[in-house]
Amino acid sequence: MPRTTSPSASKSRKARRRGPLATISLLAVGLLFTGGAYAAFSTSTASAEVPAVVSAASVEEGEKLFAANCASCHGLALEGTENAPSLIGVGAAAVDFQVGTGRMPMQAHGPQAPDKPVQFTDEQILSMAQYVASIAPGPAIPDESLLDGEGDVANGAELFRINCAMCHNVAGAGGALTEGKWAPSLSGVEPAHIYEAMVTGPQNMPVFNDANLTPEDKRDVISALKFMEENPSPGGNQLGSLGPVAEGLFLWIFGLGTIVAITVWITARSN
């Protein structure tokens, strides 16, 4: 390289390298790089979508939808069949949760109905919810004021650790249950669906009624979950929040892998 450039050019390059701006620009490049890497690693998921308010929903519309999409398993009068439970008294909250997260209509029989892309519009879901609620009273879709995520985060986090973490994991990353069932991850779940899950106890989940956890407590739990979601770990990428197994696997593959690659490089003989 130095042979092809003239002496004056190399001198000016040297001068540039030593110039007062060189340190600053080098620092800027370094900061930009580390900052960019950090931003790439810390995934921020901030989507507080407010369910659209539906006005034209009606019980009749819901009845038609129910008959067409649900009745084959749950029965035309919600009485249930041997394939599916009765829906009398499950309330609007259960419908909004099950249909709103895509768990219903169920695609196949299995240990558990997984969440999947939602099959109906918000309007249709609300219609079905109103129809089911009109047959027999049950838990209602929660009020917006309970879902704002502005509750007492410390109380919510403690309640979550005591009541929820044994299945959903302290960081809400989900966990295994028996016989192929599982507690799903709670990241990215709508506040309304979290609330509805607590009051209706879908699938394997127990019911947390208002005597057990007051509506205010539920608001706190939702606030704590949202806080966790909106404030990613200050320590960097969380490796799925799965705990020491993920950390150990990472260390063995990437940590020790890197180190071994470097040992090979250090002891490599030049040809």
Among 12, 176, 209, 212, binds another protein (CB under 8 A): 176
* 105: amino acid identity, one letter: P
Q: Give the binding range for another protein (CB under 8 A) out of 48-56, 85-93, 129-137, 226-234.
A: 226-234
**Token code pair at residue 195:** 């609330």
Is residue 74 annotated as involved in ligand binding? yes
Is residue 161 annotated as involved in ligand binding? no
Using the minimum distance from each CB to another protein, give the nearer residue, 56 or 264.
Answer: 264
Q: Give the binding range for another protein (CB under 8 A) out of 20-28, 81-89, 130-138, 153-161.
A: 153-161
**Residues between 180 and 209 with contacts to another protein, criterion CB under 8 A:** 180, 182-183
Q: From residue 258, give the alpha-carbon distance in Å to each of 199, 215, 237, 244, 249.
A: 49, 50, 18, 20, 13
Q: From residue 213, give the alpha-carbon distance in Å to each of 53, 160, 216.
A: 27, 11, 8
**Residues between 233 and 252 with contacts to another protein, criterion CB under 8 A:** 233-239, 241-252
Q: How far apart are the first and last CA of the chain?
A: 23
Rg (CA), the chain: 27
Q: How far is the CB of 146 from another protein (least distance, A)?
A: 19
Is residue 199 annotated as involved in ligand binding? no
Q: If binding is defined by CB under 8 A, does position 78 make contact with another protein?
A: no
The total of other beta-carbon atoms located within 10 Å of residue 148's CB is 15
Q: How far is the CB of 260 from another protein (least distance, A)?
A: 7
The total of other beta-carbon atoms located within 10 Å of residue 271's CB is 3
Q: How far is the CB of 262 from another protein (least distance, A)?
A: 6
Residue keyed to tokens 């403690």: 158
H/E run at residue 135: helix 122-135
Is residue 109 annotated as involved in ligand binding? no
**Residues between 19 and 58 with contacts to another protein, criterion CB under 8 A:** 37-38, 41
CA atoms of 185 and 167, how far apart (whole Å):
10
Under DSSP, the state recorded for 241 is: G
Please, what's the b/e burial string for 18-30 (b: 16 or more CB within 10 A of its CB; e: otherwise)?
Answer: eeeeeeeeeeeee
Among 9, 136, 166, 207, binds another protein (CB under 8 A): 166
**Residues within the annotated binding site for heme c?**
70, 73-74, 164, 167-168
* Residues found near another protein in the complex (CB under 8 A): 37-38, 41, 111, 153-154, 156-158, 161-162, 165-171, 173-180, 182-183, 224, 227-228, 233-239, 241-252, 254-256, 258-260, 262-264, 266-267, 269
